[in-house]
Structure 1
C-alpha cells in the first residue's frame, strides 16, 4: 500500500469526515427554511364571557359573548428574510470549508502514520542487515584468540557489541509495532498489509516559495471567510430589527342564535421605540464579533505563515542531508566497517577499531532513518496544507 493509496482509503473510512459531512448536510438543509415566513397561528378563544350576575359563565345570554376562531400571520420584512437566507448560506459555506479542512487534516495524519511506520520498518531492516557484520566480528575475535593473536577480552567485547545490536533490533521491533498500531487507527484492515513505494519526498508538486504567498488559502484559514460573512450578515440583521415587522389576524366570532355573528380583522406592528437600549447595543455586539473574527484570522494567518516557513526550512535542509547520507555517509560508514574488520582479520588492525566502525555504521543508519521520517513528515505537512487548487 503506497502512501497516497493509504490516504485515499483512510479518507473513505474516517468517522470524523463523516461527522463533518453530516454537519454540512444539516447546514445546507437549513438554507431554504431560513428565508420563509413564520408559520401561521390558529386563534381560538371566547371573548366577553360574563363572570358575575345570573349570566355568569353562560355562552348565549349576553350579546357580547363570542366564540372565536381565526388565523394570524406574521409578515417578516423581505429584507430580513433575505438576510437570514444569506446567513444560512454562509454557515453552509463555513461547514463546507470545515469539511475540506478535516479532509486535509486527515490526509496529513494518515501520511504521517504511513511515514512513521515506513521509517520504523526501514530502521529495523537496516539494523538487521548489520547482524552479519557483528557475527563476523565475533568469528574474527574467536579465530584471533585461537591463533594466539587476540585475548579473551576481545571475544567478550565482540559478543557485547553483538548483544547491543540485538538490543537495538528489539527496540526497533517495538517501534514497528507501535507505528503499526497508529496506522491501524486510520486503516483497521491494513495492520499486516506491506507498505508500497513512498512518493518523491523531494518534490512538493509546486514551487515551494509559492506556499508562503498562498498562506491565505491554508486549510486552517478556509472557514474564516464564511464565518466573517455570517457575522457581517448578523450586523445587517441587527440593524434591520429597527424596521418593524407586522402581523395580520382574521377571526370569525359566533354569538348566541338571537345575535348576529361577526368577523374581525386586526393588524399588529412592532414598535422599536427603545433602540438605544435594545437594537443599538445588539448592533454593536454583532459588529464586535466581526472585528473579533478578523483579528483571529490575522493571528492565525501569521501563525501558519511562520509554521510554513519553519516546515519549509526543515524540508529543504532534510532533502540535502538525506542526499548526503545516501551518496556519502552511509557508503563511507559501511566501507569503514568492512575495512576495519578486514584489517583486524589480517592482523594489522585492532578489534576496538572494528567495533568503533560498526558502532558508527549503526549510528549512521539510525540517523538516516530519522532523517527520512523528518523528511516525510515535513513533506506531508506542506503537501496537505492547501486544497488542490492552491
Structure 2
C-alpha cells in the first residue's frame, strides 16, 4: 500500500515576530534529532507536550496580562480628583488709554478652581476597575481549561486517525494472507476453490484503498487542526505516541492523564469526585459561572455610580486680583476672592431615576445569566456522566466478549473453508468483522477519552478553586 500522507510545507511567513519564538520552541520539542551518519528519528508529540505548548503560546493569555495591567492602572487613576483649573485675566482695562493705573477697577486677576468628585463616585469607580482586573484572572483560568479541552479533543482525533490506519494495515495483512491461501488452493486444485473466491478477496483488498485515503485525510486534517494551537505547522516526522503495532494482539489503551497533571488528581480520584459531587452546587464555582458573578459585581458598582449622580457636585475657587497704584501715587489695595459652586441635580430627577433603574436591571439580568450558565454546565455534566457510564459498559462488553467471539468466528470460518464446508465470502466477512470490532472498540476508547476531557473541563477548575481556598 502506498503512503497517502501529503507532505506539508513550512509556513513561509515564519519571519513574523509573533511566530518566531513558537517556531523555535517547536523545532526544539517537535523536530527530529539529526544524528551524524544516522537516519532521521521521528519525534512524538504527547498530550502533555501539546497542552504545554498551547498554553505557553496562546495569544489571549498573553494579552490578558496587559489587560490586567490596564485595569489596575485605571483603578489607580480613578482614585484621583480631576485636574485643578488655573485662570489668568486682565479685568476692567480702560479702552481710552489702556493704562493699568488709570482706573481703580483695573486689575490683573489670577484664579484657582478645584472641582470635587460627585459623592463617592471615585471610590466606586476604583472598586469597579479592581473587580475588572480580578475578572481577567478568572478569564485566564477559563481560557486554560478551555484550551486543555480543545487541544485534547483535537489530539484524540489525531490518535484515532493514526490508530485506524494501523487497523487498516492489519486488515490488509489478513486479506493478503487469505489471498495467498486462496490462490494456493486454486492453483493446486485443492477442494472447491474457484476463481470467484480469488476475485472476492481481491475486491475486498481494493476496497481498502478508499478506506486508506479517508484515514490519511482524517489524519492530515487532525494534524492541521492541532497545529493551529502552536502558530506553526507540525513537522512531517512528528507523530502521535500511541501508534498501534500490526503485530500487537491487543491495542494500547488511550490515556488522557496529562489533563490531570495540574490538579494533583489521578483518573480514579477524579471519577470519585464527579460521582460524589452535586453538579448544580459545585459548578457555581466554574470559571464560566464565576465570570458572570464578577460581571454582576461590576454592574453593582455601576448602580452605585449611577446613584452618586444624584448627589451635588461641588467646586471651590480662589482668586487674587492685583491693582496698580494710582497715577497720583495713591495706594490701591489688592483683592482676594473666595467662591464655591454646586450644581443642582434635583431638577433632572426623572432622568437620574431612569439611569439607576437601567443599571439595576442590567445587574439583575447578569444574575439571571449566572443561574442559566450554572444550569447549562450542570446539565452538560449529567449528560457526560451518563455517556461515560454507557461507554464504560460498552468497552467491557467489547473487551470481554465481542473481540474473542469474532476471533473464534474467523478461525471457524477459515477451518470450514479449508475443509470445503464453508464459503470464501464468509471467511472474508469474518475477517473484516474482526477488524471492524477492533475499530468499534477504538472509537469507544476515543469517545470515552473525549468525555473524560469534557468532564475535566467542568470539574477540574472547580476542584482547583476549592483547593486554593484550603
- Provide TM-score, normalisation by structure 2: 0.76
Q: Which whole-Å CA distance do the structure 1 matches of 2:452 and 2:93 have between them? A: 81
> Residues 353, 36 of structure 1: CA spacing in aligned structure 2 closer, same or farther, 3 A cutoff?
same
Tell me, yes or no, if structure 1 residue 341 matches structure 2 residue 414.
yes
Tell me, yes or no, if structure 1 residue 268 matches structure 2 residue 341.
yes
Q: Which whole-Å CA distance do the structure 2 matches of 1:338 and 1:44 have between them? A: 106
1:170 to 213, 227, 235: 213
The 8 Å contact of residues 140 and 345 in structure 1, kept in 2 or not, is answered as no
Q: Flag structure 2 segments of 5+ consecutive residues without an equivalent.
A: 1-44, 243-254, 260-266, 327-331
User: Residue 157 of structure 1 corresponds to which residue in structure 2?
Assistant: 200
Tell me, yes or no, if structure 1 residue 235 matches structure 2 residue 270.
no
Stretch of structure 1 that moved more, 285-294 or 234-243: 234-243
- Deviation of the 1:222 alpha carbon: 1.7
The 8 Å contact of residues 21 and 99 in structure 1, kept in 2 or not, is answered as no
User: Residue 26 of structure 1 corresponds to which residue in structure 2?
Assistant: 70
- Provide TM-score, normalisation by structure 1: 0.90
- Deviation of the 1:33 alpha carbon: 1.6
User: Residue 5 of structure 1 corresponds to which residue in structure 2?
Assistant: 49
Q: Any idea what SS the aligned residue of 1:36 has?
A: coil
User: Residue 140 of structure 2 corresponds to which residue in structure 1?
Assistant: 99
> Residues 44, 337 of structure 1: CA spacing in aligned structure 2 closer, same or farther, 3 A cutoff?
farther
Tell me, yes or no, if structure 1 residue 363 matches structure 2 residue 436.
yes
User: Residue 325 of structure 1 corresponds to which residue in structure 2?
Assistant: 398
Q: Which whole-Å CA distance do the structure 1 matches of 2:403 and 2:104 have between them? A: 108
- Deviation of the 1:234 alpha carbon: 1.5
- Listed as ranges, the matches of 1:67-216 within 5 Å are 67-76=108-117, 79-148=120-189, 149-187=192-230, 188=232, 190-191=234-235, 192-196=237-241, 198-199=255-256, 203=268, 204=270, 206-209=272-275, 210=277, 212=279, 213-216=281-284
Calculate the aligned-residue CA RMSD, in Å. 2.5
The 8 Å contact of residues 219 and 385 in structure 1, kept in 2 or not, is answered as no
Stretch of structure 1 that moved more, 259-268 or 306-315: 259-268
- Deviation of the 1:99 alpha carbon: 1.7
The 8 Å contact of residues 224 and 234 in structure 2, kept in 1 or not, is answered as no
- Deviations 1:323-356 (Å, cap 9, x if unpaired)? 3223332333233234323432343321011111
Q: Which whole-Å CA distance do the structure 1 matches of 2:117 and 2:86 have between them? A: 18
Q: Which whole-Å CA distance do the structure 2 matches of 1:230 and 1:328 have between them? A: 58
- Deviations 1:244-301 (Å, cap 9, x if unpaired)? 2311122233445535443322211121222422321111111111111011112222
Q: Which whole-Å CA distance do the structure 2 matches of 1:182 and 1:60 have between them? A: 85
> Residues 163, 46 of structure 1: CA spacing in aligned structure 2 closer, same or farther, 3 A cutoff?
farther
- Deviation of the 1:91 alpha carbon: 1.4
- Deviation of the 1:42 alpha carbon: 2.5
- Deviation of the 1:177 alpha carbon: 0.9
Tell me, yes or no, if structure 1 residue 222 matches structure 2 residue 290.
yes
Q: Any idea what SS the aligned residue of 1:265 has?
A: strand
The 8 Å contact of residues 112 and 377 in structure 1, kept in 2 or not, is answered as yes
> Residues 58, 153 of structure 1: CA spacing in aligned structure 2 closer, same or farther, 3 A cutoff?
farther
